[in-house]
Amino acid sequence: MSGLASLAFLAVAFAAVPQEQENGLQAAVRLVGEERYRAALEAARAESQPLARAQAELYVLHQGGALEEALLAGLEGLETSPEDPWLLERSAYLALSLNAGSLAEELYLNLQQVTDEASWDLHEPRLGEARAIQERREAEALALTRARLGVIAVLLATLVPLLFWYRASRVEPE
């Protein structure tokens, strides 16, 4: 069969079978577009393929403003599909939005491994943001330690010399 004949055959065959059903993600996107969030989430959860289910759940929950739940859905999907760039990118972005700096950093680093350089250039600034959150966390932890030690140090530095001085300057009754 010539190439042209093959193409004609495929076209006829495709037209003869029923249109492929939309998967969970496609249904979720459509239903969210129609502002039917509950139906969208139900469609997402009914999806049998784990990756598509995780993507769809994350999408609906993120669009509905349930950021933490969306991230958890994304992380669950990454258990089975750790190299999916779509899930990695959105989960990392959600982690960033929730100020989970170290998680966001890890997800962005994973994303870096699975995307090409041109795509990664778009996400690289976000990795910087994740690291900035981490740095703020570390600064906060350091400040907390400093504050706790500061209280002890100031009290010791004030009270111990005072006690010694007070005892030394005691006047014996005549």
Partner 1 sequence: MKRARGSPGLLAIVALAGAGTMIVELAAVRVLAPWFGTSSAVWTNVIGVVLLALAIGYLLGSRLAMRPNPTRTLGWALLTAALVVACLPAAANPIASLFRPEGGTLDRASELLMWGSLTASLLLFSPAAIALGCVGPLAVECVQQRTEGHAGTAGGAVLCASTLGSLAGTFGTTHFLVPALGISLSFYIAAGTLALLGLITHWMAGGVTTAGGGTAAACALFALGPGFQPPQLGPNTRLLETAQSTYQTVRVVETGEGPTLQRQLQVNEGLDSFQSVWQPSPGLLPAGYYYNYFCLPAWWSAGAGRWRVMVLGLGAGTAWRVLEGAMPDDTTLDASGVEIDPKVVELARSHMDLAAEGPGRRTWSGWDARAALAQGAQEYDQIILDTYANQMEVPAHLCSEEFFTEVHEHLVDGGWLTINIGGFDLDDPVVEAITSTAASAFERPALLVRVPFSRNCIAYLRRGALPFTPGSPGWTIEDGPAASLLPPVELDGAWKLIRPGSGPLLTDDRNGIDALQRESLSRASLRLARLEASKPGQPKP
Cα 21 from chain centre: 30
Residue whose CB is less far from partner 1, 75 or 120: 75
CA distance 149 to 169: 30
CA distance 51 to 44: 11
Nearest distance from residue 23's CB to partner 1, in Å?
21
Nearest distance from residue 127's CB to partner 1, in Å?
15
Residue whose CB is less far from partner 1, 14 or 166: 166
**Residue 75 tokens, joined:** 């992380």
Nearest distance from residue 9's CB to partner 1, in Å?
39
CA angle at 84 for the pair 78 and 87, rounded to the nearest 5°:
65
Nearest distance from residue 50's CB to partner 1, in Å?
12
CA distance 156 to 139: 25
- Interacting residues toward partner 1 by CB under 8 A: 35-38, 41, 60-61, 63-69, 71, 75, 78-83, 88, 91, 95, 98-103, 106-107, 110, 113-114, 136-137, 139-140, 142-144, 146-148, 150-151, 154-155, 158-159, 162, 165-166, 169, 171
Residue whose CB is less far from partner 1, 37 or 120: 37
